[in-house]
A and B are shown apart, each in its own frame.
Chain A
């Protein structure tokens, strides 16, 4: 026997799962929704996705260089953040918007708080909220999906910014009255497939659900948060929306609920780790989303609901520790 023996603490074997394999699975799970977005919004979607992912990766590498740390682009986490942000931006957004968002997400929300695992909010969502607050018009100008023929109600200035593309309103804006009033509500099939107005990645509930099933199958997430979140929104919008199953269905399948519940609320770092905590977290997300949608002036609500619950996560974790084996209560 030559060479040195390593005398380390047990266990001596580790599972094959790594951060890279998990993040790669998230990217794979997002592919159906990404492809659906590209199909419905064509070149503009490709552009937004490209700029968001590329700038997220560059920002991560630059900051890690400055902090004299290992550059961990190969863990895929910057790709996930960039991709999630792109899917949360309308296809009509100007080219610089995903770049500003990605730099903010990675530099401010992720790296300034210590990098991977230490972000107190979902970086992509925080960036989306920042963009929405800074450029509300561009962030709510919705391209009509290809093959969609709806006349627009958008203002001429917005029209100019998207060139000759046709704009539309999101189903949630239409159903909640307000700015989208006057547009025709899309059919339920269009709603489910994603042939509607909205952010690049949020329109196709079908594609998002396929990816979600993949994540659960691969053990990346448990169904706890997405199922409870969506169920809570369903129950509340049904009960407080006039017991209208039609209204409830639109609330579930339209807008960012699927994207948020499956891919954003399940972000490891910014959601609780305890099973009971995750249930409370998901209930909270569902309640806040429903309140904003039913009583707020803004047709969406998913982003703010998740961000609010993100900051409550450490507190939730603190008070929801599991009962220890053999503990007598």
Chain B
């Protein structure tokens, strides 16, 4: 089968060589973890513990009554030291600070939950919710919500995202090579929840070894197909991935379920498998630590709540001065202004750039080359949306479909005039949404 793809997109350099052959290592046990109560899209959790409480590994320490939310768990055993607002990768949020006793005693709830065959779909969904599993590709949307489509949307396909189209990141790549069984197990569990009989696992062709390993892992699964994808950014963007695998277009303003598809990251599937097989909630994840500013780039299995600083120290520390620190990939990741922040469920990568790489290019006049129009995977005209946004003409920006922007950053990447296209489009989107809320 030939490589599948979407229309548009860019080809940033891969930068994956430094870590793609490095096995995932266990990170050093953190002495203190800072666990944010909001690591997902949706309502933040309320703390279930108070300072002085003893907690164990896997113990639920935060929960919300709201459906669109995911509980958080302790990643160490020890004592709750404080519950206070701290800086997190996505801004200030209430955090539970736990000092580890170094024993890693397991909580009594961390026990195998049984076999997929024996569990009902509803039970599996409940396990996933209780395990605090969220989309691990970066957005952090609670997985059980994705697995609860309204009755009018008949889901017939699940797609696992193993594209890993962000440069530098190799966490999903290593997971596919080292733990393909759990990915398939987790996928089958989700297929049971949604009672679908067709699933794809999409992988970019720059990870040929992963395609091979995953094909081997599903050779007895009639319903699961490994899809080789063209290596092109943003191949792993939800709507683009759905189009590549099924040729279905998610309607403008709609969700994937509108075309009968649910997309999850391969990391999410592995977390689902762990939650069922061992009962361990989402308390750790694989994180690629890389970039020219890191002395020894690595793939580390880190505990949620470990500080960036500690993680970087395990990778030999910084190489010289650092100009930028990013959580996630270089195309969509969040730039941080300090390394004294905890890693969250969505920390797929920690990248350090040299001051030279970080320096912002001076924007020049738009020369109307039309490259952003040619490559926009949402088929927008970024140059015009950006120009209207910069002139405070947000209504006109809306007419140019600003809200359909998926914020992949391809336009800013390709722009020869180095204009802040996505940045200004984000402003327009925010203004448009704010105005809509007001008029409602």
Contact = CB atoms under 8 A, between A and B. Distances in A.
Interface of A: 1-3, 5-15, 17-19, 21-22, 72, 75, 114-118, 222, 268-269, 271-275, 278, 321-328
Contact of B326 (A3, A12, A326): A12
Contact of A6 (B323, B410, B416): B323
B416 A13 contact: no
A12 B333 contact: yes
Cβ-closest 8 pairs across A and B: A11-B409, A273-B370, A9-B423, A117-B365, A117-B367, A326-B252, A7-B335, A12-B330
B365 A324 contact: no
A117 B366 contact: yes
Interface stretch (B128-136, B267-275, B336-344): B336-344
A22 B426 CA distance: 28
Contacts of B60: none
Contact of B333 (A3, A10, A118): A10
A189 B323 CA distance: 59
Main secondary structure of the interface of B (DSSP, over half): loop
A273 B373 contact: yes
Main secondary structure of the interface of A (DSSP, over half): loop
A268 B333 CA distance: 31
B369 interface: yes
B208 interface: no
Contacts of A114: 365
Given A13-B413, A19-B417, A3 B334 contact: no
Contact of B373 (A17, A275, A328): A275
B40 interface: no
Contact of A11 (B357, B364, B378, B422): B422
B123 to A, nearest CB: 35
Contacts of A268: 367-370
Interface stretch (B108-116, B184-192, B379-387): B379-387
A22 B322 contact: no
B433 to A, nearest CB: 17
A77 to B, nearest CB: 8
A113 to B, nearest CB: 11
B369 A5 contact: no
Contacts of B337: 5, 7
B361 A14 contact: yes
A328 B364 CA distance: 36
Interface string B233-257: 0000001000100000111111000
A8 B360 contact: yes
Contacts of A272: 370
A325 B377 contact: yes
Contacts of B324: 5-8, 12
Nearest to B337: A7
Contact of B416 (A12, A22, A115): A22
A326 B367 CA distance: 29
B22 interface: no
A116 B332 CA distance: 30
